[in-house]
Chains A and B, each alone.
Chain A
């Protein structure tokens, strides 16, 4: 049911885009206005969300320590997973963001009946890590590749990414590795949500929707490249028009393009109000981006306030006689 809702939503979006693509009068809306709006909503919304997070303080130093602390000189500290220096934190964050370090730790718990009763085992489970890594890296490279439409002349770096991505030189135009990877990875992530009962149980429509969107975006992109071909020069003219604030609308781009750019626009606009904000959130996660040095440097809580306490005087007043009988020193006789 949850899957169906998301699926129908994406289908409706594709139909809307197809209508837009088939009516030439709407091309200006679908090719120029909606992409601009989506871009503003994405960048603006992203900044708004991060600022909103940033307006709440981090009152306590709460890193999750995943290794030996800094203590005695001869005990080897895990300087990355339990960092006490800014450099350690940077390496830790880089490993989380670029390599998905924590996901790499993933295990699969299994309960089986052994000879002497039940046995729990924790096998290695790297598929989620591998799928996510391929998915995110492919996504990033695809975005970088697309800069060739938005930049004129096309920078060397973008061309370099592209030639590496198409290194296999299979087919014409040559197949991009990232296109293959992202389709496989997104399908894996989707199937995982459907097939693993626990993951299916926790999944919301909001978890399937982005997967369907990305599938459709990658799908339309691939269709456009290999099957329903569009005039690339016209596409680039439109894109450069957007990037130079001199929008032009070339005729006859081809309908698949309008479906593609509409879905991309919707995903970008949707991004800041969804779980996709994990892209920004990971950088601000207090359990990962803090040094474990709270015994070395006092962490300040801006809203630290005085609380009602039970002082020693209260305590002695209540127990003075008992204390004296037990031979304990007292402040007041």
Chain B
């Protein structure tokens, strides 16, 4: 008994020591994955390009704020995370950071003083960046971004999420992959893989989350990689494999969507429209094609982005829904509401029109389990941002004023069963919830 107690006592001491060590012993930073010459300098524009590919702008620039001066709030279930100032300001930004400090943030989610970053910063993915890209990015932030003195509100999450050492435990699981893996980038598919798994951090939204809320799938070697996730109530659809858009769209169409937020089938909404605006439209056609080729598992071949000076015929179909809407007789409430409110652009075929009016037939947003985005778009509309190759800002107006909750539910439910779509109905209560949540914003 005594022995037993002693053993228990010893175990407690060991555990305490381990816990204290876990909390207080500095964590190791990952070393550079490649030794570059001390005088190595990035090519002109290389750092900015990595910045675009990494979409740093999306989080680190506040609405209407100076670029990268932080202050954007990122809502998480644990509380509000405030994106930091990453301009080279010495007082409020990262002006005092060394390259090693910078790399540690990207690879290990560590600040120079050893604190853990919240994994809203996708260091799970950024740790795959090559040393050259890390250096180029560092060079860009230190030398090309203007310093902005902008103190940002400190993130204050509720207990226990404010215990940052907890992230250390999380990191043991999440960061099991080695940093800066040596990527082959000689073929487009290899280049695409690198961009998707590292800078692009596509998995942050499009991979499911595991029980620890880490990305369930960090690389293409993982079974669930890019098999679809959920972000802020939105379905982030699967990007690879059966049923994914990549499986049905040609490489050129995928690349066009990435570069412009629109293609012959769909338009980008929600978070994705911001990714297009701040990141993907700035990539080269070759890189967007490479990403598309990787996602589809197919060579780029002759594929190109959709060009200009184009007339694109809209698709036809003879689905019973199409026939019913064309005849315009014996209409359900939802079908009648569709004709009165939606048909103008999306047409009786539910096929919309290439590059401008997205397809509703077979649209993952329409049939998603998460009905909030569909309802939200019916109520408040949607907007595709102006991009370099497609400068037109495309806007769908909202119907919050014109349609009641019951009517939105009717029309949404109609969409979810029309043209072969097969998803459960939406209720007026679902609509009321979205309407209330949005008006609370």
A binds B: no
Q: Using a CB–CB distance below 8 Å, which chain A residues touch chain B?
A: none
